[in-house]
Structure 1
Amino acid sequence: MDSVLRAVAIYLVLMILFKIAGRRSLAELTTFDLVLLMVIGEATQQALLGDDFSLTNAVLVIATLIAIDVGLSLLKQRSRRVARLLDGGPTIVVEHGKVLHERLRRARLDESDILEAARSAQGIVQISQIKFAIIERNGKISVIPD
C-alpha cells in the first residue's frame, strides 16, 4: 500500500510542478530540458520504489500511475472545469498584429518566440503580418496569418 500512496503523491507533485513550469517548457525540449527530465525521472524512480526494487512493487507502481492517468482523463471528459484546471486552455498572445505583452509575459515568452513560430509555420517575418498567435494547450504556438 505504501507504493500506491507514493505513486499517487509523486504523480500529483509532478503534475503541479509541470503546471507551474508552464506550457512553454513542454513545447520544445532543449538539451537542458532533456537532461532535467532524465534527472527528474531518476529522482522519481527512487521516490516511487524506495528500498523495494522488486518486480511486484514496480508493476504495482506502474499500474497505479496508469490508473491515475486514465482516471484523470475520464474525469476531464466529464467535466470541462477539471479539463481546464488540468490542461489549461489556448492563450492568444498576438491579435491583429498587436502583441498582448501581459499574456506573453505570463507565458514566459517573448516576441522572438512568436516570430520563430511564425517563420517556421507560415514564412511570416513581422508581427504585423500575424492575425492571431495562440499558445495551444500543448505549448505549441499556432500562427494565423493576416
Structure 2
Amino acid sequence: MDAVVRGLAIYFVLLFIIRLSGRRTLAQMTPFDLVIVLVISETTQQAMLGDDFSITNAVLLILTLFATDIGLSYLKRWWPRVGHVMDGVPTILVIDGMFDSNAMRGCRLDREDVMEAARGQEGIESVKEIKFAILEVSGAISIIKKPDLTKS
C-alpha cells in the first residue's frame, strides 16, 4: 500500500510542477530541459520505489500511475472545468497582426517564438500576415493566416 501512496503523491506533485512550469516547456525542449527530465525521472523513481525494487512493487506502481491517468481523463470528460484547471486553455498570442504582450509575458514566450512557428507552418514573414497565433494546451503554437485579398 505504501507504493500506491508514494506513486500517487509523486504523480500529483509532478503534475502540479509541470502545470506551473507552463506550456512553453512542453513546446520547446532544449538540451537543458532534457537533462532536467532525466534527473527528475531518476529522482522520482527512487522516491516511488523506496527500498523495494521488486518486480511486484514496480508493476503495482505502473498500474497505479496508469489507473490514475485514466481516472483523471474520465474526470476531465465529466467535469470540463477540471480539465481547464489541469491542462489550461488555449491562449491567443496574436490578434489581427498585433502581439498581445500580456499574453506573451504570461506564457513566457517572445515574439521570435511566434514568428518561428509562423515561418515554419505558413511561410509567414511578418506578424501583419497573422490573423491569430494561439498557444495550444499541448504547447504547440497554431498560426491562422490572414486571407490573401490580392488573389481573386
Which residue matches 1:43?
43
- Counterpart of 1:82 in structure 2 is 82
The one-letter amino acid paired with 2:128 is S
1:63 aligns with 2:57: no
Structure 1 residue runs of 5 or longer lacking an equivalent are: none
Matches within 5 A, 1:103-114: 103-114=103-114
Q: Does 1:118 align with 2:136?
A: no
Measure the CA separation in 2 of the matches of 1:135 and 1:54. Answer: 42
Structure 1 runs (4+) deviating above 6 angstroms are: none
Corresponding residue SS for 2:139 = coil
> Offset at 1:49?
0.1
Q: What is the alpha-carbon distance in structure 2 between the residues aligned to residue 51 and residue 70 of structure 1?
A: 27
Report the CA distance between 1:35 and its aligned residue: 1.3
- TM-score, normalised by the number of residues in structure 1: 0.98
Q: How many residues align?
A: 146
For the aligned residue pairs, the C-alpha RMSD in angstroms reads 0.6
The alignment partner of 1:131 has SS state of: strand
Q: Which runs of 5+ in 2 are unaligned?
A: 147-152
Map of 1:23 onto structure 2: 23
Q: 2:23 corresponds to which letter in structure 1?
A: R
Cα distance in 1, alignment partners of residues 76 and 28 from structure 2 = 25
TM-score, L = length of structure 2: 0.94
Q: C-alpha distance in 2, partners of 1:54/1:73?
A: 29
Structure exhibiting the larger radius of gyration computed from Cα positions: 2
Q: Which residue of 1 aligns with 2:94?
A: 94
- 1:144 is matched with 144
Give the Cα separation in 1 of the matches to 2:89 and 2:53. 39
Residue 114 of structure 1: CA displacement?
0.4
In 1: Cα distance, 2:11 partner to 2:127 partner: 39
